[in-house]
Amino acid sequence: MSSQPTEIPETEETLPILESQQADLEQHEAQLVLQLGEIRAKLASVRAKVADSRNVNRNASIYSLPAETLADIFEAGRQLPLNDRDIPFPVLVSHVSRRFRSIAINESTLWTDIYTSPSLSSMDWLDIRLKRSEACLLDLRIKFLHDDEDDEDDDFDVRSLLDRILPHHKRLRRLSIRSPESARMYSLLSAFSDINAPSLESIQIYLVYHFDEDYRPMRVFSGGAPLLTSIRLHRWSLGALQAPLDAVTTFRLDMPCRPVPFNDFCEAIHGMPHLENLILSADAVAYDGQPSIEIMSLISLDVAFQSSPPSGLEPSALVTPALESLTLRHANKDRLSAFVHLLRGSSSLLRYPALHTLEVDSWATNPMRNEDVVGLMTGLPNIRHIAFKSAPSGIFYRLCTDTSADPLWPRLETITLDEIGDDAASLLCLMVSHRASLGAPKLQLKSSMDDVPEDTMEWLRERVDIIEKLDDPDDSDRSWW
């Protein structure tokens, strides 16, 4: 093509010719711009590879690791505890090097844990995770950040969030929602009313403040959730979430604003024929001596007592012959005495014949009476594992002095303590020596040993399997989100 336009005589046909030339030149310009864009993209890619080659120490051992090994390392790192202010692990590793970034971006399982809120600022990040996770199952955590009830922008953000999430309903594995008040919770849950969630395993509903007065039942996942095995409700009424319960094995009910009537509680429990783990606040259920409920499948029971004087659900209201593990939280002397009285009962049969694990977290401030200590140990003869916040001196003393033909807790294997001091350690040494003289098996001790003298530690190490107990991962509300 000539670089100079042809001279055109000044005639009435000049304009059409010029317009034709203009169109040709514009088309040629567009082709050149496209070619220039392609060249620039290739140049940027080559420059990046040159920089990568110059800046990477190819002799470093980590550079020689196969991509599959790095992907496994990244996957393990994804399981690390994370709070709201931490940089998500996949993002963190993708900033180490271009190779790390390439592997991280293409490892779909790294992007399945999605933490989001109904705000426009988080939508781009949500889109990225949904795309990079490909067909993997999703663990979705939604958190409302404030409690403005009449915020139209917030309503728009909720709709925008749902527009992105709902098309992936078949990929949902875990769903956690945290809200400062119930109106927003209802608006979000209503979108899941008729949804089919074939992969959903867990629902967690967390209300920051007490439940509002506009309580009403809300049916969710009525299209089916055959794998739903875990439900946790915090300050959310049991009757306000009507979900498929057939497959539920773990149910947790924390601090609802109003106690659930015992009959409603029984109805819900009867709807969980495979329930194995029950965790609840005693005050969550209004119990006034009604006939007890049988939960034949229950293996683990964790009860937190909140009020004083005693009120709410008592262990006596639950008949659980298959129970293997029992945790009593914040139980004062009266609660513990009532529990021991339950163990003695009016029958010669054991209340909990299969129980082998006992945890009591209030021993330090509310030590049991001596007669209750004996009643506890004789009423639960098959204990193998005990856990306390601090050393249960009454139990240790009984195990030190027991000379009966039928010794107390002969199968005891593990003692777990949050801490153990010098005095308790001395008593523990006496107990270990006495049990050894009876031919009892070697104990395992899990505890923080910071306050135990070194000579005592040396003595214990020779006779007890000691596991230094670190702080457990925070099981508070923060660990959910």
State the residue for tokens 């060249």: 39
**235 and 128 assigned to the same domain:** yes
Whether 38 is covered by a domain: the verdict is no
DSSP characters over 313-324? --GGGEE-TT--
Query: Domain residues for 324?
Result: 270-276+287-382
Within this chain, do residues 342 and 439 fall inside the same structural domain, yes or no? no
Q: How large is the average pLDDT for residues 398-426?
A: 87
The SS3 call for residue 15 is: helix
Q: Do 361 and 419 have their domain in common?
A: no
Rounded Cα distance between 424 and 102, Å, is 55
* CB-neighbour burial class of residue 263 (10 A; exposed 0-12, middle 13-18, buried 19+): exposed
Query: Does residue 228 lie within any of the structural domains?
Result: yes
Q: Residues 123, 225: one domain? A: yes
Arithmetic mean of pLDDT, 27-45 = 89
Q: What confidence score (pLDDT) does residue 472 get?
A: 54
Would the pLDDT of 477 be above 80?
no
Among candidate residues 362, 382, 402, the one where a domain is terminated: 382
Rounded CA separation 385/356 (Å): 6
Distance CA 285, CA 77 (A): 40
Q: How many domains does the chain have?
A: 4
Q: Are residues 207 and 144 both part of a single domain?
A: yes
For residue 242, give both structure tokens: 């009507």
The partner residues of 143 in beta bridges, in order of sequence, read 178
Residues in the chain: 481
pLDDT tens digits, one per residue of 70-113: 888 888 877 776 665 567 777 888 777 777 888 888 888 888 98
Overall average pLDDT of the 49-53 stretch: 70
CB neighbourhood size of 458 (10 A): 9
Does residue 322 share a domain with residue 351? yes
Residues contacting 324, CB < 8 A, separation 6+: 299, 300, 354, 355, 356, 357
Is residue 141 a part of any domain in this protein? yes
Domain-located, residue 227: yes
Distance between CA atoms of residues 191 and 188, nearest Å: 6
> What is the reported pLDDT for 64?
74
Confidence (pLDDT) at 481:
43
Same domain? For 365 and 402 the reply is: no
243-271 average pLDDT score = 91
Q: pLDDT for 413-445, tens place per residue?
A: 999 988 888 888 888 999 999 988 888 889 999
Residue 147, φ and ψ in degrees, nearest 5: -125, 35
In this structure, the answer to whether residues 374 and 402 fall within a common structural domain is no
Both 90 and 117 in one domain: the answer is: no
Within-domain flag for 100: yes
- What residues form DSSP beta bridges with 161? none
Whether 325 is in a domain gets the answer yes
Tell me, yes or no, whether 146 and 103 share the same domain: no
Q: DSSP string of 234-303?
A: ESS-GGG-B---TT--EEEEE--SSPEEHHHHHHHHHT-TT--EEEEEGGGEE-SSPPPEE-TT--EEEE
The C-alpha atoms of residue 328 and residue 362 are separated, in whole angstroms, by 8
Residue 7 predicted with pLDDT over 70:
no
Handedness of CA 228, 195, 267, 139 (dihedral sign): positive
* Strand, coil or helix: 198: coil
Residue 181's pLDDT band, with cuts at 50, 70 and 90, is confident
First to last CA, the chain: 65
Average pLDDT value for residue range 29-49:
86
* Residue 125, Ramachandran bin (φ over 0: left; ψ between -120 and 50: alpha; else beta): alpha
User: Of the segments 123-132, 272-281, 392-401, which one has the largest average pLDDT value?
Assistant: 272-281
Does residue 233 sit in the same domain as residue 117? yes
| 299 part of a folded domain | yes
Domain end (from 332, 356, 382): 382
Query: Is residue 388 within 8 Å of 394, Cβ to Cβ?
Result: no
Give the pLDDT confidence of 292-304 residue by residue, as tens digits. 999 999 999 999 9
Residues 136 and 220 in one domain: yes
Residue 404: Cβ within 10 Å count = 7
Within-domain flag for 426? yes
